[in-house]
Amino acid sequence: MAYIAQQPKPLLFKPDLDDAARRWDAYFAGELIDRPVVCVTAPREGKSGAPGSNYRDRACGDLESVIQHALINAEATFYGGEAIPYFWTSFGPDEVAVFCGAELGWSDDSGDTNWSKPFVEDWAAALPLRLQEDHPFWQRMLAFYRRAAELVDGKMYLATLDLHTNMDLLAAVRGSQRLCEDLLDEPEMIDRAMESARAVFPALWEATNQAGRMAEWGYIGPAATLQCDFSCMISPPMFRRWVLPALEEEAAIVGRAVYHWDGPGALVHTEDLLTSAGLHTLSYVPGDGHGSHLDHLELLKRVQAGGKAVQVWGPPEQMQALHRELRPEKTMYCTSCASQAEAEALLEWFVQHT
C-alpha cells in the first residue's frame, strides 16, 4: 500500500516516482496503464549496504545509526516499477499494545521477534484502552518519526506501524486463550473492549502521521497494513460482530487499504472479506508448509471475481506464471531480482505480456 501526495516531492532513491504514482493511482482506481503494478527491487551495481536494523535496534538502539544505515541500504538498492524506498520504525508486532500500557517482552532464544505481556485481569477495570501519552516507548516512537522525517526527507518515505489493532490489540493485552473464553463468557464486555480498541486506531494514525509529516509527503505500508491475525481463532459470526466493522472503520481512515490475510485458518472469513467495504486488496499469506501463491491460484481468482485485488510475491518466474492467469488491473506483484538489468527486463516482460 502506498499513499503518494498529489504533487510528490522528488525522491533521490526513486527518480521515476511520478510514473510510479500514476500507476498506483490507476491500480487503486481499478484501471490499467500498460502493465500491472510491479514492485521489484535489486542491488545497485557498485553500491554496498550496511547492517540492517531489527526490532531490538529500533526499540532500544541508537536512532541516528539505525536511520543512517537505512539510508545507506536504500542508496544501494534499485527500486523498480512501483517499488518505493521506505524506512520502517516498528518496534515489534505488538507495539500498539505496548503503547497502551503493556510491557515489551524479549527472549534471546526468539531471534528478532518480540511480544507484549498481557496485563488485563479485569476488563471493567482496564477499560478504556488508550495510548499512554507518557509511555517511554510511545514517546520514543514519536521522536523516531520526527527525526526520521528530517533525515530521510527527499530520499525515501516513512512506513506505517505494524498495525495489530482491533481484536489483535485485545489479544495482546489479555492473552489469546483468555480472550477466546471471554468471547463466549462475556460477549457484552467484549463489545465494550472493541469499542475502546477502535478508538485507539484514529488517535494512533493521526499522531504518527503528524510526527512523520506523512500525509504531506507520502507514506507506504510495508509487508502489512490492516490486519487481524486473531481472526483464525474465531467463527464468521464473531468476525462479523467484532472484527469486520473495525476493519472497515480503519479502512475508511487509511483510504487505500490492503488487508494482511494470515494463514489457512483465516479462510473461513473469505466471503465476509469479499463483501467488505474499503478493503481494496487482500494479501493472503499461505503460511509455512502451505506452498506459494502459485499453489493458491484458485483462491486468488476467486478473490478477483469477488471484486477485490490481490497482492502476490515470490521469485520472478512465479510472478510471470501468475500473470498469465490473473487479472492485471487487480494484481500487485512483489519480487526481487539479482541485478538492475534483470529487474528492468522483468518490467518490460510485463509490458509485452499484458
Tens of pLDDT, residue by residue over 175-214, are 999 999 999 999 999 999 999 999 999 999 999 999 999 8
Q: Which three cell numbers stand for residue 18?
A: 511520478
**Could you tell me which residues come within 8 angstroms of residue 70 by beta carbon, excluding any fewer than 6 positions away?**
52, 53, 87, 152, 156
CATH topology (fold) of 2-352: TIM Barrel (3.20.20)
pLDDT at 3: 65
Cα torsion 180, 190, 90, 308: sign: positive
**Is the pLDDT higher at 288 or at 163?**
163
Which of these, 13, 81, 3, lies nearest to 331 by C-alpha position? 81
User: CB count, 10 Å around CB of 109?
Assistant: 5
End-to-end CA gap in the chain: 22
**Each residue of 232-283: pLDDT tens digit?**
999 999 999 999 999 999 999 998 899 999 989 999 999 999 999 999 999 9
Q: How far apart are CA 151 and CA 67, in angstroms?
A: 8
Per-residue CA distances from 43 to 75, 82, 84, 115 (Å) = 9, 16, 14, 32
pLDDT band for position 288 (50/70/90)? Answer: confident
187 phi/psi in degrees, rounded to 5: -60, -30
pTM: 0.94
**Contact indicator for 142, 211 with CB cutoff of 8 Å:** yes
Question: What is the domain partition of the chain in residue ranges?
Answer: 2-352
- The neighbouring-strand residues paired with 115 are 105
Q: What percent of the chain has pLDDT over 70?
A: 96
